[in-house]
Structure 1
Amino acid sequence: MTKETIRVVICGDEGVGKSSLVVSLTKAEFIPTIQDVLPPISIPRDFSSSPSYSPTNTVLIDTSDSDLIALDHELKSADVIWLVYCDHESYEHVSLFWLPHFRSLGLNIPVILCKNKCDSISNANANAMAASENSDDDIDTKVEDEEFIPILMEFKEIDTCIKTSAKTQFDLNQAFYLCQRAITHPISPLFDAMVGELKPLAVMALKRIFLLCDLNQDSYLDDNEILNLQKKCFNKSIDVNELNFIKDLLLDISKHDQEYVNRKLYVPGKGITKDGFLVLNKIYAERGRHETTWAILRTFHYTDSLCINDKILHPKLVVPDTSSVELSPKGYRFLVDIFLKFDIDNDGGLNNQELHRLFKCTPGLPKLWTSTNFPFSTVVNNKGCITLQGWLAQWSMTTFLNYSITTAYLVYFGFQEDARLALQVTKPRKMRRRSGKLYRSNINDRKVFNCFVIGKPCCGKSSLLEAFLGRSFSEEYSPTIKPRIAVNSLELKGGKQYYLILQELGEQEYAILENKDKLKECDVICLTYDSSDPESFSYLVSLLDKFTHLQDLPLVFVASKADLDKQQQRCQIQPDELADELFVNHPLHISSRWLSSLNELFIKITEAALDPGKNTPGLPEETASKDVDYRQTALIFGSTVGFVALCSFTLMKLFKSSKFHK
């Protein structure tokens, strides 16, 4: 990205006019007699002929080859080198001394090679302008550049070459701009001059931009899409003649250039193809107009290394320790629009081909998704395609677990505003105390909740997750090794919609349960046991004994497989007894074959997250009732006292009034 200050070190043989170039540039006049070496000169941004592409400041540093120690010190701190020569001897010295010397210092910075004292070129240009336009004897003012070619071929660090005259002011501003442009709009990341092609990273970036600009997904940039791109990148409309020139140029190349003769660059009536877009930017690079390509790239947040700016992908968000991050209405709206845009067949689901096209402008599916068996971690239709409901649920889960993934993919998808606007941070969770125990206060601003489903293997946890996603029960048993996630939306009484994340921990269950930081992400723990297995409940008892801090969280007991014969649990305490001892609700009996029981469970889990106090162990219901009774008694007592006082005051006034009349 653009540097705040660029250090330009000017070097070359004695007598080539280095100091004169600096003075003529800054004073706008030629001064014959000046000191040998000038002090550093800082040039403000508004000095440049192209200020929109300039840094805040540019520092010109004059040097002398008589003091190599000082010269090397300046070179090592330089951003760009302005290397000057003026005659055959100094030209030979460029390749024999100067450029090898830069390499010996390990410098990897651009070099602007400048031939100074080209006074005759300026005079020829002036004479040409004065000559009649219809003259048969037009003056050929072109200066042959054969001397540049071999040195450009040998030294790739040379960014560009230019001829100047300090005496006549010829191309001074242009040379200065080239020094700035070498840093603000470097050609080396974009174009390989040796082979005459755009570099692979540049091609990848431009292909992604093409996909984002192809709003109707027809593989062409039509006039409206080109106009949108122009306004976005350059803040102005494109001229009709210029647009027609571009179209004609691409048509001409596809007809006469053997490399593109079988590739369509522009199709009349449809627009510019992806190949045409790449060729156009290649032409910009070849003709020294690569700042146009950089303007496009930087509008889409690309850095000089042709990666998207990490600060844009992962903006800092202040999230208190007990808060969570959710999608904002703007974020949900954008994700809905993306889904509808890529649902080409309008069947309400994204098939593999549509998903591939959607994620084509990204690094691919997030690792979090692939590790949790996407798309089967959320709602899919009967063809296995993720639905809009599942799409929004998946992103709600992603944002809750790792919002940085969401901000990055919003940018990849083309969200043009600050990605933080698509998110919202919930209020910090407060703690309350009752009966000597701390517990979480009620939730009123969160829509996404996280539940850990734990229990003995084969107790029905996986079936619970499958049922949550609306899938039919399967008799086939497959042990859960890696953690599994299921996320879906559900609606509570009153029409409020929430997203619930159910996590089965697999073989990592013990490691996660002993990690108190990990449990901060958990809103509810669903303790599941198989009511038909007499050995199942003891597993939960041992977990609660081993990890006593679990009792600081809301707990929901679940007796699964209730359609089978209920068994007495071989345990020192029975499920209902333990629930009474912990002051939580008795186990809810469910079955994957009883849909109503499952819906009741999912609602109960969500309600437990919304009102933790009713489901946290150690908070007896009667304590809360006594508190209410006390407040009611106090209120009644206060009202009674107030009423008696008012009556007494009224009677006293009446008594005094009657006494006075007597």
Structure 2
Amino acid sequence: MRRDVRILLVGDAGVGKSTIVTSLIKESYVAHVQHVVPEVTIPPEVTPENVTTYIVDSGCLEQDRHHLETEIRKAHVICVVYAIDNPHTFDRIPTYWLPYFRQLGVNVPVILVGNKIDLRGGEVTNEALSEEVLPIMNEFKEVDTCVETSAKLLLNVPEVFYHAQKAVLHPVAPLYDSRDHVLKKECVAALRRIFKICDTNKDGVLDAAELNEFQRKCFDAPLQTQELEGIKETVREHMDNGLRDNELTEEGFLYLLTHFIQLGRQETTWSVLRKFGYGEDLKLTEDFLYPKFDVPHDCSVELSTLGVKFLTETFTAFDKDHDGALKQEELEDLFSTSPGNPWANQRFPDTTVTSDAGAVTLQGWLAQWSMTTLLNYKTTLEYLAYLGYLDTPRTSALQITRPRKAERRKGKSTRNTFLCYVCGAAGSGKTSLLRAFVGRKFTDEYEPTKRMNSVVNTVAIEGREINLVLQEFGSRYEAETLKSSRKTDLADVIVYVHDSSDTNSFSYISNLRQQYNLDHIPTLFVATKSDLDLALQRHEVQPDVYCRRLQLQVPVAVSVKTDQMADVFHQIGQIAIHPLGAIPGGAERALSTAARVRTVMTMGAVLGGLSVGLLLVYRTFGRPGAFGTGWAGQWATWLFSVGRRDL
């Protein structure tokens, strides 16, 4: 919502524009005012809407035209003032002023202000005023309302500017069709989504507890029993299907928010819409969908306890048959408050754990979101908004982990979700391995991997469950991934897969290791198709010798076809949690590398300190030769020269 409002007063000569402004500021009538009152700024703390308000007066003489057109284009709302005692000034509104705004290309709310009500003879009812103004409002949709006032009697003067503010901050036009007296379809769609989010038990009605929670979220106050009964009575009087078993239906909800608009209380409807993230165009705002969330380099993002709790409650609410799994129709219902299933193009639900009937289990649901959060946390933030996570801030549903490199140096990871790259030659069995991980049956039909394939499942390690994400890329994208340090830095484990029955399969992964610098990533070798005859690999050494030279365990032999998996996924999980023992070259190499780095840094600091000291000596003794010609003097002379270069 904007934080300032610029109100412009226009109208024919003598209608009282300047007098209205002066009466507002002085809080008293001033008989003689200047032709155009200077711009007035009202600070936010003295306005009901807490916004800075600028009130701009204008003249209607020829010499005022340039200034008038400039201010019309700058205005957020225009008050067209006419004099009650001069009908000609009212007639000029539809024939001159409103067409003039359109001619300038200006489309802002317009408030009609009938001034000098004290000069009218006789009483005029609201119905009579509506009949007078209605033809103009029907022809010019920009006209928001009409206010009658008297600057002389200080009657309704503040109301003019209140309605002007409201027309800008809480516009009716996006919500309501004044001609047909119905909500616009965009507004209906937004409110239906809000109703569905607030219907936490998904029974199609809002009970007292749900209505109270809705009231608390939107207005920071619960409904009193008397207020709740008043709402139900209002709906009952005007709608046959507004209540069901004395609880508010979706149609009753829509009626209530329409009723507020018809009463001129559109700010209530806007408060609801904005609380649920909608902007002026009745679309969810970018700030709402993507709140600021900075993730340091080498850190990853996981679901927090609050995020897991919300997603678990969402799963339970949409599991209508209480079978512990979400069928396709239940998933469609769940994602009906969003643009659709975020994994529609990712072979979901084959990417996670499902029941025998293919429905997504709770374990699979949470694992899928854990994978999404790890790979693209912005998607998770976006869909938390769509699904109705309204806790502030929404980033409380996520948590940032410690840097991977820091955890590797420590030797044990405390994270919950890990990424494993699965690499190997075409036909080596990578896809079958991934399918086995999420419980899919083996198939002899071979289909080359043409795009990145990711699956996720939970693995029990040392008394806790971790989420393990396995990714394969296919030969087309594998090189592109492995040559990017930005991408390989994301991997917690790399699994090299070769077909133990294919003589050329191991050479492919050996060449990968030679071509790309991947030895900083914990590694496991897997030999697939162990049910077939073992082939001698066309390589300088056989796989077991190759692994021993790297101080890694020999390849794990598996057969997906015969379900002989050698607990390979548990082994990958162990490596993810305890990475040092799986670094090529051994844990000693990884630790010694870190030690060498620390030694170099320490020596650099020592040499830097010596350099400063020797510089002082040099200044004392004059030249390097002053240290002497012996070995100690030569060494000191060399140190001095190093220090001098550094300085």
The corresponding residue for 1:292 is: 268
Q: Residue 66 of structure 2: which of 65, 69, 73 is its match?
A: 69
Q: 1:557 aligns with which of 525, 530, 552?
A: 525
The equivalent residue for 1:578 is: 546
Match of 2:13 in 1: 14
Name the residue aligned to 1:265: 242
| d(CA) in 2 for partners of 1:625, 1:183 | 67
SS at match of 1:275: helix
Q: Deviations over 1:254-276 (max 9, x none)?
A: 46xxxxxxxx2223x24222122
Q: Which residue of 2 aligns with 1:430?
A: 405
SS at match of 2:526: strand
Q: How does 1:15-414 map to 2 (within 5 A)?
A: 15-48=14-47, 51=48, 54-66=49-61, 67-86=64-83, 87-119=86-118, 143-254=128-239, 264-267=241-244, 269-366=245-342, 369-414=343-388
- For 1:529, the equivalent position in structure 2 comes to 498
Counterpart Cα distance in 2 of 1:626 and 1:502: 28
- Residue identity matched to 1:105: L
1:419 partnered with 2:394: yes
- What's the CA shift for 1:202? 0.7
1:475, 1:308 → 2: CA distance?
47
Q: How does 1:453-602 map to 2 (within 5 A)?
A: 453-493=422-462, 495-506=463-474, 507-546=476-515, 548-593=516-561, 597-599=565-567, 601-602=568-569
CA distance in 2, matches of 1:346, 1:121: 70
What secondary structure does 2:495 align onto? strand
**Residues 20, 30 of structure 1: 8 Å contact kept:** yes
CA positional deviation for 1:622: 7.9
**CA separation in 1, counterparts of 2:87 and 2:133?**
12
Counterparts of 2:593 and 2:140, CA distance in 1: 88
Contact 1:121 1:143 in 2 (8 A): no
Residue 592 of structure 1 contacts residue 598 of structure 1 at CA under 8 Å; is this kept in 2? Answer: no
Which one-letter code corresponds to 2:243 in the other structure? Answer: Y
Q: 1:142 to 1:203 in 2, by over 3 A?
A: closer
CA contact (8 A) 1:429 1:441 kept: no
**Counterparts of 2:520 and 2:545, CA distance in 1:** 19
- 1:448 aligned to 411, 414, 417, which one? 417
For residues 626 and 216 of structure 1, the distance between their equivalents in structure 2, rounded to whole angstroms, comes to: 56
Distance 1:323 1:141 in 2: 65
Shift in CA distance, 440/596, structure 1 to aligned 2, threshold 3 Å: farther
Tell me the distance in 2 between the aligned counterparts of 1:571 and 1:371. 39
Is the contact made by 2:547 and 2:554 (CA closer than 8 Å) also made in structure 1?
yes
Q: 1:623 to 1:113 in 2, by over 3 A?
A: closer
Q: CA deviation at 1:121?
A: 6.8
Amino acid at match of 1:404: K
**Where does structure 1 lack aligned partners over 5 or more consecutive residues?**
126-139, 256-263, 433-438, 629-662
584-593 vs 420-429, which moves further: 584-593
Contact 2:413/2:578 (<8 A) preserved: no
For 1:621 and 1:287, how far apart are their aligned partners in 2? 77
Q: Deviations over 1:61-113 (max 9, x none)?
A: 11112211111222222111111111322222222222222122221211111
| 1:583–1:621 contact (8 Å) kept in structure 2 | no
Q: Once the 2 structures are TM-superposed, how far is the Cα of residue 239 of structure 1 from its aligned partner?
A: 5.0
Tell me the SS of whatever aligns to 2:131.
coil
Q: Which residue of 1 aligns with 2:611?
A: none
> How far apart in 2 are the matches of 1:141 and 1:109?
25
Go from structure 1 to structure 2 and tell me whether the alpha carbon gap of 1:197 and 1:322 turns closer, same or farther (over 3 Å shift): same
Does structure 1 retain, via aligned residues, the 8 Å contact 2:583–2:590?
no
Distance verdict in 2 for CA 1:472–1:174, change over 3 Å: same
| 2:641 aligned residue | none
Identity of aligned residues (%): 40
Counterpart of 1:613 in structure 2 is 580
Local SS of the residue matching 2:540: coil
Q: For 1:20 and 1:574, locate their aligned partners in 2 and report how far apart those are by CA, in whole Å.
A: 98
Residue-pair matches, total: 589
Normalised by the size of structure 2, how large is the TM-score?
0.86
Unaligned residue ranges in structure 2 (runs of 5+) = 596-647
| Amino acid paired to 2:372 | T
Aligned to 1:4: 3
Displacement of 1:15: 0.9
SS for the counterpart of 1:147 is helix
In structure 1, C-alpha distance between the alignment counterparts of 2:406 and 2:541, rounded to whole Å: 30
Contact 1:500–1:606 under 8 Å retained in 2: yes
- Secondary structure, in 3 states, of the residue corresponding to 2:469? strand
- Look up the match of 2:612: none
What CA distance in whole angstroms lies between the structure 2 residues aligned with 1:58 and 1:47? Answer: 10
